[in-house]
């Protein structure tokens, strides 16, 4: 895939996309600001969220083992997956063991991260997305572009077209004469999904949190589709990143305040589903938890970068980011777009590809993401940290080595400054040649003075002569 600058150049040229993104992100960010301002102790809550996550990550081994014990005691089964291939294999085998070939899914970025739908398709299993935005993405053979609103790049006229053209391929067709009225679109999705919920015996979910003390999974959602997936099927498989564990229900309470206000701009979440193992006569008869590493322990080993694992996927950083607002989510080439994607993706996937190496530069370092982050992830600091680790072009490395040599000794620098002053008429005034040309596209080259400050100081004795 091309680098971030290449992808974003195409996105910026799409005026419809820019309009859709601006309208949606500004609406959500305004709602968030309003409900956050209502809480006088927001900063204390934020500090508590950060402290809980840091404590949990420092003791992750202990809490994961406690979680495993709790889930097992409650009648669930725990599986450990080191990477995407292992997670996909475990899930496919579990589904095959039920004899089913169809599953319904609750919105889950972890399953997108591991390419679960594609892996299941190879095994002859069809996964049906049930979140409205994910349904739009799936029917449109598209790719999510926002953590909270995966189809944020689509407007309602486009959604109507997708429903009319593709719903029938996946089940109940869209009603004839469907309009682009939001209520009509929601009703079409509801009718389409209801049949699927009632007919499917296996569900796949992620989880926003896992409570170690009781082995409880927690899913927050706004449409009720998650509740249907989590209660109706006979078998439930949850794939969850290992960083999603919290020690106790008391800790969970902090995040149940932070997350809805930061994500949808609501005071509390419309549907908060919790389940602990299995309960005879109530809900799924079988529950499997797949604990996913897939690069997370590598992130944990980085003292600066590990704070990215505090993320609760609220998407507040996306909604305030001036780069995301113009480039959109697809430019990041990952299921994690925006500022959090710019620090998480290169850590999870490494920076071997040009795209992943370009992501730490997908930011103006304005710091708006840090200000709104409910768990105080210092995204600008991590970006700078990753830029230092990213592979750099040969010309840039040579330039930095030359600068290091020139700035390493005062007498050497003084001699070079004198030389530069003498040769200053040869320096281009507008555009540097070669690899520096792009840098001067949007910057002026400062004029080289006839005399350096040091020489002026020596000559005038600090301006006294
Ligand atoms: S980095 Fe912070 S603001 Fe961004 S999605 Fe994660 S928790 Fe939310």
400: phi then psi, degrees, rounded to nearest 5: -70, -35
Kindly report the protein residue whose alpha carbon is nearest to atom 2 of ligand 1: 373
Span from the CA of 196 to the centroid of ligand 1 (angstroms): 32
Q: Is the CB of 64 under 6 A from ligand 1?
A: no
pTM: 0.89
Counting Cα atoms < 13 Å in the Cβ hemisphere of 462 gives 0
Whether residue 343 has its Cβ less than 6 Å from ligand 1: no
Q: Which of 306, 313, 368 to mutate to test the pocket of ligand 1 (most atoms within 8 A of CB)?
A: 313
pLDDT at 428: 77
Residues 6 or more apart in contact with residue 78 via CB below 8 angstroms:
67, 68, 71, 72, 288, 289, 291
Please indicate whether residue 376, judged by its CB atom, sits closer than 6 Å to ligand 1: no
Q: What is the pLDDT of residue 188?
A: 96
Q: What would the two tokens of residue 397 be? A: 């490395």
Contacts by 394-401, CB closer than 8 A, 24 or more apart: 395/434, 395/435, 395/436, 396/435
pLDDT of residue 462: 87
Q: Whose CA is nearest to atom 6 of ligand 1?
A: 311
Sort 39 into a burial class: Cβ within 10 Å, 0-12 / 13-18 / 19+: middle
Which of the listed residues 28, 150, 262 should we mutate to test ligand 1's pocket, taking the one with most ligand atoms within 8 A of CB? 262
Sites in the chain below the pLDDT cut of 70: none
Q: Cα(280)–Cα(272) distance, rounded to whole angstroms? A: 21
Per DSSP, the three-state class of 352 is: coil
Angle at 441 (CA atoms; ends 438, 443), nearest 5 degrees: 115
Report the distance separating Cα 413 and Cα 59, nearest Å: 49
Place of tokens 């927050």: 220
394 burial class (0-12, 13-18, 19+ CB within 10 angstroms)? exposed
Find where tokens 């600058």 sit. 5
Phi, psi of 464 (to 5 degrees): -90, -15
- According to DSSP, the residues that pair with 279 across neighbouring strands are 282
- pLDDT value at position 311? 98
Say whether 108 sits in a helix, a strand or coil: coil
Interval 85-143: pLDDT, tens: 999 999 999 999 999 999 999 999 999 999 999 999 999 999 999 999 999 999 999 98
> Residue 308 C-alpha to ligand 1 middle, in angstroms?
8
Q: How far is the CA of 448 from the centre of ligand 1 (A)?
A: 43
The pLDDT, as a whole number, for residue 436 is: 74
């Amino acid at each position: 895939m091309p680098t971030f600058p290449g992808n974003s150049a195409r996105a910026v040229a799409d005026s419809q996309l820019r309009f859709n993104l601006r309208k949606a992100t500004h609406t959500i960010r305004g709602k968030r600001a309003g409900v956050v301002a209502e809480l006088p102790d927001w900063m204390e809550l934020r500090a508590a969220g950060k402290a809980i996550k840091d404590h949990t990550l420092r003791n992750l081994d202990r809490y994961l083992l406690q979680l495993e014990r709790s889930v097992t005691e409650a009648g669930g089964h725990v599986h450990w997956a080191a990477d995407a291939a292992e997670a996909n294999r475990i899930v496919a085998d579990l589904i095959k063991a039920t004899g089913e070939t169809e599953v319904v899914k609750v919105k889950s970025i972890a399953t997108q991260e591991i390419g679960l739908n594609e892996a299941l398709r190879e095994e002859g299993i069809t996964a049906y997305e049930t979140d409205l935005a994910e349904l739009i993405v799936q029917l449109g053979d598209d790719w999510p572009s926002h953590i909270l609103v995966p189809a944020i790049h689509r407007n309602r006229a486009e959604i109507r077209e997708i429903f009319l053209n593709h719903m029938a391929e996946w089940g109940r067709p869209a009603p004839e004469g469907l309009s682009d009225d939001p209520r009509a679109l929601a009703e079409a999705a509801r009718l389409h999904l209801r049949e699927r919920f009632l007919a499917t015996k296996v569900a796949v979910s992620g989880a926003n949190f896992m409570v170690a003390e009781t082995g409880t999974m927690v899913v927050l959602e706004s449409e009720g589709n998650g509740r249907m997936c989590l209660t109706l099927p006979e078998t439930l498989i949850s794939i969850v990143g290992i960083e999603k564990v919290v020690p106790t229900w008391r800790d969970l309470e902090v995040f149940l305040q932070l997350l809805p206000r930061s994500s949808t701009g609501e005071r509390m979440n419309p549907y908060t589903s919790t389940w602990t193992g299995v309960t005879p006569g109530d809900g799924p008869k079988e529950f499997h938890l797949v604990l996913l590493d897939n690069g997370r322990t590598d992130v944990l080993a980085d003292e600066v970068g590990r704070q990215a694992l505090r993320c609760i996927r609220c998407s507040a950083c996306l909604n305030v980011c001036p780069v995301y607002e113009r480039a959109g989510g697809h430019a990041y080439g990952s299921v994690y777009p925006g500022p959090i994607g710019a620090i998480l993706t290169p850590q999870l996937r490494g920076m071997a590809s040009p795209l992943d190496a370009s992501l730490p530069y997908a930011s103006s370092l304005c710091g708006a993401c840090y200000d709104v982050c409910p768990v105080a992830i210092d995204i600008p600091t991590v970006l700078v940290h990753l830029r230092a680790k990213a592979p750099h072009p040969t010309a840039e490395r040579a330039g930095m080595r030359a600068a290091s040599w020139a700035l390493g000794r005062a007498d050497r620098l003084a001699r070079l400054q004198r030389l530069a002053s003498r040769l200053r008429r040869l320096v281009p005034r507008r555009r540097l040649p070669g690899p520096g040309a792009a840098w001067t596209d949007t910057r002026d080259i400062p004029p080289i003075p006839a005399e350096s400050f040091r020489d002026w100081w020596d000559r005038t004795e600090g301006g006294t002569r």
